[in-house]
Structure 1
């Protein structure tokens, strides 16, 4: 469906950052804006970022044949 363009450390950072933002929002620490953490969490879990596709970025390692 989507081309994989998020890899390795980028993926881990997105998932961790998304979870932190969601946790802070759920506890009321940073307010409702923290629920935007769903975006990096989703892109990390799906390993695909639409913005990366638009600007032509790819953090996945290339497969050597």
Structure 2
């Protein structure tokens, strides 16, 4: 199990989860913080949401 290295990434992780649960973001299909998008080249519907683009932290959702 990986542990988030610092408090900034912990907060960014919670903000990303909050955005993914926000009905308004799903209604408008705009995800400014996580830039949620479908992963190309995979048969299954897998989406990627960035937690922190610089560090490479991401969430993959199926």
TM-score where L is the length of structure 2: 0.35
Instruction: Identify the structure with bigger relative contact order (alpha carbons < 8 Å, sequence gap 6+).
Output: 1
Q: Which is strand-richer, 1 or 2?
A: 2
Q: Which is helix-richer, 1 or 2?
A: 1
**Bigger radius of gyration among the two:** 1
